Amino acid sequence: MNWHDAWPAPAKLNLFLHVTGRRADGYHLLQTVFRFIDRCDTLRFAPRVDGAIELATPLPGVPPESDLTVRAARLLQAHSGCRQGATIHLDKRLPMGGGLGGGSSDAATVLLALNHLWGTGLTRAELEHLGLNLGADVPVFVHGRNTFAEGVGERFTDVALPAATYLVLEPPVHVPTAAIFGAPELPRESTPIAAAQWRPGIGRNDLEGVACARFPAIAEHLAWLREQAATAMMTGSGACVFAAFSDPAAAAAALAALPAGFSGWLAEGLEQHPLAEIR
């Protein structure tokens, strides 16, 4: 792909999320299944010979220096010794603090795109490892396959998932992930399951209770969605909630019935990340 091309950064859903323990450094041990969906941020890159990394489209409330796209580009530069730079254009569509992994996906797409465009030649495994420095959710987006993840979300057993249409609701709140994991009342002792045992529909989101108690809008959206589909669940640390439909028409009918003041959209489950084959 060229400098001018649009590079997608898809959202993920956590089809279940169990907290199975806590490490000495405070990070939580999880089991989860990540599924990529066809709703995406989009990035473009322009090369620079001066070595600078510039974000042409800063996000409201996020200083460019702490933006995950800029941090990802700098990390790749530092790790590879690359002297080239880039101006990054980010077309942001995914909500921040939504549990859809938007920032992490942007960072992963920067790693994959610049590794390709700069010709820095890191392997996907090396980029996954590098990505973990930016956030627990970055490695899976580099990995690129729907997968059962363990550890803090960096040990993968890939899974094949059936086609599904998802109705995703965006409660109008930004959830700080650290506050949910830091809640004293968070259940942290789910019994681990074997990756081979997992099927769609198995499991729950252990972060849901804390998120719903602290952000009543999440509880309201989830309650409405559960009336449409009993298996509705929150993704990640929230705020978004989703339900899977095997019949796209049923998903569309549920979206059409959305109460005033709620916002939501449909997305198709992907078989893999759109950049899964890029080198």
Query: For binding to ligand CDM (CB under 6 A), which residues are involved?
Result: 14, 17, 26-28, 30, 32, 99, 101, 104, 135-137, 152-153, 177-178, 181, 236-237
Single out the catalytic residue among 12, 41, 67, 106: 12
Q: Considering CB distances under 5 to 8 angstroms, the limit depending on partner class, which of ligand ATP, ligand CDM, none binds residue 67?
A: ligand ATP
The answer to whether 234 is a known ligand-binding residue is: no
Q: Which stretch binds ligand ATP (CB under 6 A): 61-69, 124-132, 181-189, 203-211?
A: 61-69
* Residue 28 interaction partner, one of ligand ATP, ligand CDM, none, beta carbon < 5-8 Å per kind: ligand CDM
Q: Does residue 69 interact with ligand ATP by CB under 6 A?
A: yes
Least separation in angstroms between residue 93's CB and ligand CDM is 18
Burial class of residue 205 in the structure, from the number of CB atoms within 10 Å of its CB (0-12 exposed, 13-18 middle, 19+ buried): buried
Q: Residue 176 or 248: which CB sits closer to ligand ATP?
A: 176
Nearer to ligand ATP, 97 or 209 (CB): 97
Q: How many residues bind ligand ATP (CB under 6 A)?
A: 20
**Residue 198 interface partner, choices ligand ATP, ligand CDM, none, CB cut-off 5-8 Å depending on type:** none
CA–CA–CA angle 222, 245, 262 (5° rounding): 35
25 annotated active-site: no
Applying CB under 6 A, which of residues 62, 132, 252, 278 lies at the interface with ligand ATP? 62
100's contact among ligand CDM, ligand ATP, none, with CB below 5 to 8 A by partner kind, is ligand ATP
> Rounded to whole angstroms, what are the CA distances from 80 to 54, 63, 121, 134?
18, 25, 9, 16
Least CB distance from residue 39 to ligand CDM, whole Å? 16
Beta-strand pair 7-22/85-91: unpaired
Single out the residue of 104, 87, 103 nearest to residue 44, CA to CA: 87
Would you call 218 exposed, middle or buried from its count of C-beta atoms within 10 A (0-12, 13-18, 19+)? buried
Q: Which of 41, 67, 106, 137 is catalytic?
A: 137
* DSSP one-letter string for 33-94: EEEEEEEEEEEEEEEESS--EEESSPPTT--GGG-HHHHHHHHHHHHHT---EEEEEEE--S
CB 35 within 8 A of CB 146: yes
What is the DSSP secondary-structure string of 30-41?
A: EEEEEEEEEEEE
**Shortest distance, CB of residue 34 to ligand ATP, whole angstroms?**
10
Residues that are catalytic: 12, 137
